[in-house]
Amino acid sequence: MLSTINFGQSYSAKEYKELAVESRIRLFNLQKECMEQKIPVIIYVDGVSGTGKGSFLNLLSEWCDAKHLQTYSFWFLTDEEKLRPEAWRYWTRIPQKGEMAVFIGGVYDEALRKMAGGKISELEFNDIMYERVEFERTLTQSGYIIIKLWFHLTADEHKKRMKERKKNKSEGFSSYDEKSEENYENLTSAVEKMLPLTDKDFAPWYVIDAYDEKYRNIKAISAVSSCMENAIRRKKAFETNMPVIEDETDMQAGISILDQVDLSAKVSKEDYKKQLDVLQNEIRSLTYKAYKKGISSTLLFEGFDASGKGGSIRRLVQAIDARITKVIPISAPSSEELSYHYLWRFWRHVPRAGFVTIYDRSWYGRVLVERVEGFAKRWEWKRAYSEINAFENELINKKNILLKFWLQISLDEQLRRFKEREEIEWKRHKITEEDWRNRSKAEAYKIAANEMFLRTNTVHAPWIIVSAEDKYHARLEVLKAYKKALEDKLK
Amino acid sequence: MLSTINFGQSYSAKEYKELAVESRIRLFNLQKECMEQKIPVIIYVDGVSGTGKGSFLNLLSEWCDAKHLQTYSFWFLTDEEKLRPEAWRYWTRIPQKGEMAVFIGGVYDEALRKMAGGKISELEFNDIMYERVEFERTLTQSGYIIIKLWFHLTADEHKKRMKERKKNKSEGFSSYDEKSEENYENLTSAVEKMLPLTDKDFAPWYVIDAYDEKYRNIKAISAVSSCMENAIRRKKAFETNMPVIEDETDMQAGISILDQVDLSAKVSKEDYKKQLDVLQNEIRSLTYKAYKKGISSTLLFEGFDASGKGGSIRRLVQAIDARITKVIPISAPSSEELSYHYLWRFWRHVPRAGFVTIYDRSWYGRVLVERVEGFAKRWEWKRAYSEINAFENELINKKNILLKFWLQISLDEQLRRFKEREEIEWKRHKITEEDWRNRSKAEAYKIAANEMFLRTNTVHAPWIIVSAEDKYHARLEVLKAYKKALEDKLK
Across residues A241-245, what is the average pLDDT?
65
Report which of residues B166 and A387 the model is more confident about.
A387
**Three-state DSSP state, B333:** coil
Most confident of A285-294, B103-112, B455-464: A285-294
pLDDT tens figures, A416-433: 999 988 888 777 777 788
φ and ψ at A279, to 5 degrees?
-65, -45
Report the greatest alpha carbon distance in chain A. Answer: 76
Is residue A486 predicted with pLDDT exceeding 80?
Answer: yes
Is residue A57 predicted with pLDDT exceeding 90?
Answer: yes
Residues of chain B contacting A341 with CB distance shorter than 8 Å: 94, 138-139, 142, 144
Lowest mean pLDDT among A77-81, A248-252, B208-212: A248-252
- Chain B nearest-CA distance from A356, in A, is 12
Across residues B251-256, what is the average pLDDT?
66
Across residues B454-472, what is the average pLDDT?
94
Is residue A276 predicted with pLDDT exceeding 90?
Answer: yes
Residues of chain A contacting B396 with CB distance shorter than 8 Å: 85
Q: Cα dist. A62→A66, A71, B363 in Å?
A: 7, 13, 38
Is residue A161 predicted with pLDDT exceeding 70?
Answer: yes
Is residue A175 predicted with pLDDT exceeding 60?
Answer: no
Is residue A404 predicted with pLDDT exceeding 80?
Answer: yes
φ and ψ at A312, to 5 degrees?
-65, -40
Is residue B427 predicted with pLDDT exceeding 90?
Answer: no
User: Which residue among A339, A343, A396 sits closest to B91, beta carbon to beta carbon?
Assistant: A343
Using 50, 70 and 90 to split pLDDT, how confident is the model at B472?
very high
pLDDT at A251: 57
**Mean pLDDT across chain A, nearest whole number?**
90
Report which of residues A434 and A263 the model is more confident about.
A263
| Count of Cβ atoms closer than 10 Å to residue B37 Cβ | 16
**Three-state DSSP state, B158:** helix
Which three-class secondary structure string do you get for chain A?
Answer: CCCCCCCCCCCCHHHHHHHHHHHHHHHHHHHHHHHHCCCCEEEEEEECCCCCHHHHHHHHHHHCCHHHEEEEECCCCCHHHHCCCCHHHHHCCCCCCCCEEEEECCCCHHHHHHHHCCCCCHHHHHHHHHHHHHHHHHHHHCCCEEEEEEEECCHHHHHHHHHHHHHHCCCCCCHHHHHHHCCHHHHHHHHHHHHHHHCECCECEEEEECCCHHHHHHHHHHHHHHHHHHHHHHHHHHHHCCCCCCCCCCCCCCCCCHHHCCCCCCCCHHHHHHHHHHHHHHHHHHHHHHHHHCCCEEEEEEECCCCCHHHHHHHHHHHCCHHHEEEEECCCCCHHHHCCCCCHHHHCCCCCCCCEEEEECCHHHHHCHHHHCCCCCHHHHHHHHHHHHHHHHHHHCCCCEEEEEEEECCHHHHHHHHHHHHHCHHHHHHCCHHHHHHHHCHHHHHHHHHHHHHHHCCCCCCEEEEECCCHHHHHHHHHHHHHHHHHHHHC
pLDDT at A181: 55
Across residues B435-455, what is the average pLDDT?
90
Cα A254 to Cα A9: distance, rounded to the nearest angstrom: 8
φ and ψ at A118, to 5 degrees?
70, 25
Cα B184 to Cα B182: distance, rounded to the nearest angstrom: 6
pLDDT tens figures, A120-146: 999 999 999 999 999 999 999 999 999
Residues of chain A contacting B123 with CB distance shorter than 8 Å: 123-124, 127
- Name the residue in chain A with its Cα closest to that of B340: A96
Is residue B243 predicted with pLDDT exceeding 80?
Answer: no
- Name the residue in chain B with its Cα closest to that of A139: B341
Is residue A173 predicted with pLDDT exceeding 90?
Answer: no
User: Which residue among A94, A353, A354 sits closest to B344, beta carbon to beta carbon?
Assistant: A94
pLDDT tens figures, B324-333: 999 999 988 8
User: Which residue among B242, B350, B390 sits closest to A84, beta carbon to beta carbon?
Assistant: B350
pLDDT tens figures, A89-109: 999 999 999 999 999 988 999
**Mutate which: A79, A81, A88, vs B, most B CBs within 10 A:** A88
Chains A and B form CB pairs within 8 A to the count of 128
**Three-state DSSP state, B241:** coil
- Chain A nearest-CA distance from B394, in A, is 6
Using 50, 70 and 90 to split pLDDT, how confident is the model at B241?
low
Tell me: ipTM over 0.95. no
pLDDT at A343: 94
Across residues B402-424, what is the average pLDDT?
93
pLDDT at B440: 87
Q: What angle is formed at CA A317 by the lines to CA A315 and CA A323, rounded to 5 degrees?
A: 160
Report which of residues B41 and A169 the model is more confident about.
B41
pLDDT at B38: 94
**Mean pLDDT across chain B, nearest whole number?**
90
Cα A132 to Cα A264: distance, rounded to the nearest angstrom: 43
- Name the residue in chain B with its Cα closest to that of A80: B352
pLDDT at A86: 87
Residues of chain A contacting B383 with CB distance shorter than 8 Å: 141
Report the greatest alpha carbon distance in chain B. Answer: 76
Is residue B80 predicted with pLDDT exceeding 70?
Answer: yes
Q: How far is CA B196 from the centre of its chain?
A: 8
Cα B184 to Cα A477: distance, rounded to the nearest angstrom: 55
pLDDT at B466: 96
User: Residue A405: CB partners within 8 Å, gap ≥ 6?
Assistant: A299, A300, A301, A302, A303, A309, A312, A463, A464, A466, A478, A481
- Give burial (CB, 10 Å; 0-12/13-18/19+) of A344: buried
| Strands A297-303, A205-209: pairing kind | unpaired
**Three-state DSSP state, B43:** strand
Please state, for a pLDDT cut of 70, what percent of chain B lies above it: 94
Cα B357 to Cα B364: distance, rounded to the nearest angstrom: 16
Rg (CA), chain A: 24
Using 50, 70 and 90 to split pLDDT, how confident is the model at A180?
low
pLDDT tens figures, B383-403: 999 999 999 999 998 899 999
Cα A13 to Cα A433: distance, rounded to the nearest angstrom: 45
**Mutate which: B341, B352, B380, B392, vs A, most A CBs within 10 A:** B341
Contact A80 B142 (CB under 8 A): no
- Name the residue in chain A with its Cα closest to that of B395: A85
pLDDT at B36: 96
Across residues B464-489, what is the average pLDDT?
97
pLDDT at A243: 64
- Chain A nearest-CA distance from B20, in A, is 32
Is residue A313 predicted with pLDDT exceeding 80?
Answer: yes
Count of alpha carbons within 13 Å of A322, Cβ hemisphere only?
A: 2
pLDDT at B256: 80
- Name the residue in chain B with its Cα closest to that of A85: B397
Contact A390 B131 (CB under 8 A): yes
User: Which residue among B83, B130, B353 sits closest to A353, beta carbon to beta carbon?
Assistant: B83
Cα B129 to Cα B109: distance, rounded to the nearest angstrom: 11
pLDDT at B249: 57
pLDDT tens figures, B114-129: 999 999 999 999 999 9
Q: What angle is formed at CA A398 by the lines to CA A395 and CA A401, rounded to 5 degrees?
A: 60
Is residue A297 predicted with pLDDT exceeding 60?
Answer: yes
Using 50, 70 and 90 to split pLDDT, how confident is the model at B149?
very high
